[in-house]
Amino acid sequence: MYAFEYHRPSTVAEAVSLLQGASDGRFLAGGHTLIPTLKQRLASPSDLVDLGGIEELKGILIDRGSQLRIGAMTPHAEVAASDDVRGWIPALADLAEHIGDAQVRNRGTIGGSIANNDPAADYPAAIVGLNATVHTNQRTIAADDFFTGMFDTALNEGEIITEVRFPKPDKAGYAKFPNPASRYAIVGVMVAQTGDGVRVAVTGAAPCVFRLPEFESALARSFSADAIKGLSVKPSGLNSDIHASAEYRAHLVGVMARRAVAAAR
Ligand SMILES: Cc1cc2nc3c(=O)[nH]c(=O)nc-3n(C[C@H](O)[C@H](O)[C@H](O)COP(=O)(O)OP(=O)(O)OC[C@H]3O[C@@H](n4cnc5c(N)ncnc54)[C@H](O)[C@@H]3O)c2cc1C
């Protein structure tokens, strides 16, 4: 038997207060990770606080021409279909378009994805590679400080992600080698060229998203796939499982990075 209280608040303040009043509450976004977790009895929260009725957490906006703002409860399908996203950062729309399948894209949200920080999720590469900021009901968190480990983030207990803000890169590209069943990234690489330099962020390869400083320096000198042709990463510390060995993932990082650069626009 499931035994939890279900709540559907209409404001962020109400959601926070409901969670504070619960003995072991959880926020519910698209439910594509949380519901299977409950079904497998891996979690048994006392309360589920559904964020789906909170209008202030939804939507996409280009703010004063300086940043792209995506509400935490915006589903992947909306990011993929947005002309604003495609015009601002085409690579981000492409990334969202290739998450999971149609059901996953219609229910899964950007806030749920980054709060969950699955090692194979696509969005962490976008947040770090594109140097986004994560906004919560309490503060603003820089991309480099947000993802702290496998399924772990800088979020405090009861802290709600409200939106993610992306500056406009000069160019960006994303390439992933997907798991053929789930489409999660076996390895995914986001590359972005900006006025402040180049950023390269890798997901899927290790327990948590990480940057590649050596690739970034080479691409800052010459933004071309050839500039990183001789570079590689070591397999030690990379994930090894039934889908791919650490050695194979290390190889894929180089291949995906070159494809991401070639695809950058
Ligand atoms: C079959 C399948 C295939 C998938 N394929 C991919 C893929 O290819 N690439 C990929 O990146 N992902 C993939 N996913 C993951 C999916 O895209 C969702 O992003 C993911 O399930 C989490 O988002 P959600 O909105 O469903 O969050 P939920 O499951 O509702 O919540 C996840 C966690 O985040 C917390 N949370 C949710 N919203 C907030 C918030 N605003 N503030 C603070 N905490 C919050 C919840 O409390 C919970 O702990 C797949 C999932 C499935 C089931």
Nearest one of 138, 161, 166, 192 to 58, comparing CA atoms: 161
CB of residue 47 inside a 6 A radius of ligand 1: no
CB of residue 106 inside a 6 A radius of ligand 1: no
The preferred substitution site among 34, 74, 79, 190 for testing ligand 1, maximizing ligand atoms within 8 Å of CB, is 34
CB of residue 177 inside a 6 A radius of ligand 1: no
- What mean pLDDT do residues 253-258 have? 98
The contacts of residue 208 (CB under 8 Å, 6+ apart) are: 117, 119, 124, 147, 148, 149, 150, 152
What separation in Å is there between the alpha carbon of 220 and the centre of ligand 1?
Answer: 33
**Mean pLDDT taken over the chain:** 97
232 φ/ψ angles, rounded to the nearest 5 degrees: -145, 170
pLDDT at 200 over 80: yes
Q: Give me the percent of the chain exceeding a pLDDT of 90.
A: 98
What is the rounded end-to-end Cα distance, in angstroms, of the chain? 51
pLDDT in tens, 146-162: 999 999 999 999 999 99
The encoded tokens of residue 150 equal 């496998």
pLDDT at 133 over 60: yes
The contacts of residue 103 (CB under 8 Å, 6+ apart) are: none
- What mean pLDDT do residues 148-177 have? 98
Q: Is the distance from CB of 253 to CB of 233 less than 8 angstroms? A: yes
pLDDT tier for residue 143 given thresholds of 50, 70 and 90: very high
- What mean pLDDT do residues 4-28 have? 97
What separation in Å is there between the alpha carbon of 223 and the centre of ligand 1?
Answer: 33
Please give the Cα distance from 246 to 232 (Å, whole number): 13
Q: How many residues are listed for the chain in this entry?
A: 265
Q: Tell me, letter by letter, the H, E, C secondary structure of 34-64.
A: HHHHHHCCCCCCCEEEEHHHCHHHCCEEEEC
pLDDT at 60 over 90: yes
CA 76 to chain centre: 10
**Continuous segment of H or E residues that includes residue 198:** strand 197-203
From atom 36 of ligand 1, which residue's Cα is the shortest distance away? Answer: 112
CB of residue 30 inside a 6 A radius of ligand 1: yes
- What mean pLDDT do residues 63-88 have? 96
What separation in Å is there between the alpha carbon of 32 and the centre of ligand 1?
Answer: 5
Q: Whole-prediction pTM value?
A: 0.97
pLDDT tier for residue 218 given thresholds of 50, 70 and 90: very high
Please state the atom number of ligand 1 nearest to the C-alpha of residue 161. 42
Q: Give me the percent of the chain exceeding a pLDDT of 70.
A: 100
Output the pLDDT for position 64: 86
CB of residue 123 inside a 6 A radius of ligand 1: yes
